[in-house]
């Protein structure tokens, strides 16, 4: 279980990393926490000739709030998300999500940016990003662009990121006070990917839902935004009937591949169940 | 053949210099080049935790870290726990509480428990189970491992007081 030979670089700055990326083009892979890429390299599914480690670039790490936006460096580890006082207070959904990713050792190394850029629909941050309405900062030697999470995930291991770009930051609009959120994830055991999971954020006006976002993990080639389910809930009370209806609408967009975690039907049913649980919990956490 | 790189790290308090191919995994450098065979190779896929070492204050699975990533790092393996012939409190407690049977997972368990207790000196049973979840044991059923960590936490607290 040893990767094929490659050249290794540990640039100290983003411009240096971009220079290396430009020079080596398609032959190069960016290394973040290494807990997706290195396993793929060990299995020889990935065989980059050049590995550019972003681990020494300190400006890619950290969490701060700036004028209603939470800005998270792409190389911030899952463990740092979990212990962030800012996130615990203002964006607990990310903390709840990160706590359910893999295991402690992996969370010390694994990064939010790596999880997103890998483009694996089984990863948890993509759905969390959709539910939070996040956007991503992508930098190349030509400049910088900011793209919304919604639309970024285009297929299995395929994202809107270009080969000469580095994700530098994740921007999350600070959820308005009173927002309720929940990440409900079914997994067979610690360290496994989700059989199905649902991320929900919502705000209530009295007993009716005023804003709601629902996103699903690992039940399609990309994370899925359950738009019809959202539309059906907006302006309605969170009754059992409305929650059940939203879950059915969420299930209708699922198309999971059968594997050792279950059949298409089972996974779809579990996506519905996770949607119901996340809606109920988020509803109970939202201020009226 | 990729260019070999010189890597200098601190291993259990002593300088360790190696020259490695970039593709060499930390577990192999530790076991094959530096003689620290305490961290074990269990699954080689970052699931089992037998290869856990402490790297710059983090518990990591050394089968999923490249040695070249450890330039100027501080690495602690189970070999670094005993001092002057005296076992570390965690080693004592794993022994006293029967926190092991075959012993294969033990170096990883103790190394992980060390960092857990540094971060949370007085964990509840639930916290121990959650924060030790990256280490698998196929013998004990975990009960005595949890007990050993609880005992170690108590002993360390008494020592510190």
E-strand stretches of B1-159: 5-11, 14-20, 52-55, 58-61, 74-76
- What local confidence, expressed as pLDDT, does residue B160 receive? 79
Contact residues on chain B for A5, CB-CB shorter than 8 A: 1-2, 21-23
What residue has token string 């890619």? A60
CB pairs < 8 Å spanning A and B = 85
Q: What is the b/e burial string over A210-219, where b = at least 16 CB atoms within 10 angstroms of the residue's CB?
A: ebbbbbbbbb
- What local confidence, expressed as pLDDT, does residue A288 receive? 87
Contact state of B134 with A191 under an 8 Å Cβ cutoff? yes
Mean pLDDT of A167-177: 98
The minimal CB distance from B52 to the residues A1, A3, A105 is found for A105
Q: Which residue of A lies nearest to B65 if distances are taken between CA atoms? A: A34
- The answer to whether residue B161 scores a pLDDT higher than 80 is no
Cα separation, A107 vs B91, in Å, equals 25
Confidence of residue B1 (pLDDT cuts 50, 70, 90): low
Q: Which residues contact B60 (CB under 8 A, 6 or more apart)?
A: A105, A108, A109, B26, B52, B53, B54
* pLDDT tens digits along B6-25: 999 999 999 999 999 999 99
Q: Please indicate if any CB of chain A lies within 8 Å of the CB of B31.
A: no
Cα separation, B79 vs B86, in Å, equals 12
Confidence of residue B2 (pLDDT cuts 50, 70, 90): confident
CA distance A248 to chain B (A): 33
Q: Which residue of B lies nearest to A42 if distances are taken between CA atoms? A: B45
CA distance B159 to chain A (A): 27
Q: Which of B32, B53, B60 to mutate to test the interface with A (most CBs of A within 10 A)?
A: B60
Considering the entire predicted model, what is its pTM? 0.97
């Amino acid at each position: 279980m040893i990767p094929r030979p490659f050249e290794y670089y540990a640039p100290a700055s983003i411009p240096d990393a971009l220079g290396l990326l430009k020079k080596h083009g398609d032959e190069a892979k960016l290394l973040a926490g290494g807990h997706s890429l290195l396993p793929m390299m060990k299995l020889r599914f990935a065989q980059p000739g050049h590995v550019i480690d972003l681990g020494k670039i300190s400006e890619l790490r950290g969490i701060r709030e700036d004028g209603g936006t939470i800005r998270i460096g792409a190389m911030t580890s899952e463990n740092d998300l979990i212990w962030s006082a800012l996130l615990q207070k203002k964006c607990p959904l990310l903390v709840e999500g990160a706590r359910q990713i893999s295991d402690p050792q992996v969370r010390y190394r694994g990064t939010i940016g790596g999880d997103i850029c890998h483009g694996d629909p089984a990863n948890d941050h993509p759905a969390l990003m959709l539910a939070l309405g996040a956007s991503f900062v992508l930098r190349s030697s030509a400049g910088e662009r900011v793209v919304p999470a919604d639309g970024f995930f285009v297929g299995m291991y395929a994202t809107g990121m270009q080969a000469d770009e580095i994700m530098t930051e994740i921007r999350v609009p600070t959820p308005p006070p009173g927002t309720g959120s929940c990440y409900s994830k079914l997994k067979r055991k610690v360290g496994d990917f989700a059989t199905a999971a649902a991320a929900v954020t919502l705000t209530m006006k009295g007993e009716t839902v005023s804003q709601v976002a629902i996103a699903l993990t690992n039940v399609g080639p990309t994370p899925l935004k359950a738009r019809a389910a959202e539309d059906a809930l907006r302006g309605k009370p969170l009754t059992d009937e409305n929650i059940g209806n939203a879950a059915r609408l969420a299930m209708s967009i699922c198309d999971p591949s059968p594997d050792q975690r279950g059949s298409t039907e089972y996974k779809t049913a579990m996506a519905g169940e996770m949607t119901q649980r996340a809606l109920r919990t988020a509803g109970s956490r939202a201020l009226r | 053949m990729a260019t070999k790189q010189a890597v200098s790290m601190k291993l259990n308090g002593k300088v360790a210099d190696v020259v490695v191919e970039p593709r060499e995994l930390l577990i192999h450098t530790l076991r094959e080049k530096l003689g620290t065979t305490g961290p074990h190779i269990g699954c080689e896929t970052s699931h089992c935790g037998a290869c856990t070492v402490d790297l710059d204050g983090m518990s990591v699975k050394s089968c999923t870290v490249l040695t070249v990533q450890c330039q100027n790092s501080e690495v602690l393996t189970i070999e670094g726990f005993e001092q002057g012939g005296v076992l570390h409190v965690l080693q004592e407690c794993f022994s006293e509480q029967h926190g092991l049977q075959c012993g294969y997972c033990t170096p990883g368990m103790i190394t992980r428990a060390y960092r857990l207790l540094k971060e949370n000196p007085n964990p509840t049973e639930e916290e121990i189970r959650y924060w030790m979840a990256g280490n698998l044991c196929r013998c004990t059923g975990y009960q005595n491992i949890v007990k050993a960590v609880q005992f170690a936490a108590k002993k360390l607290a008494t020592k510190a007081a």
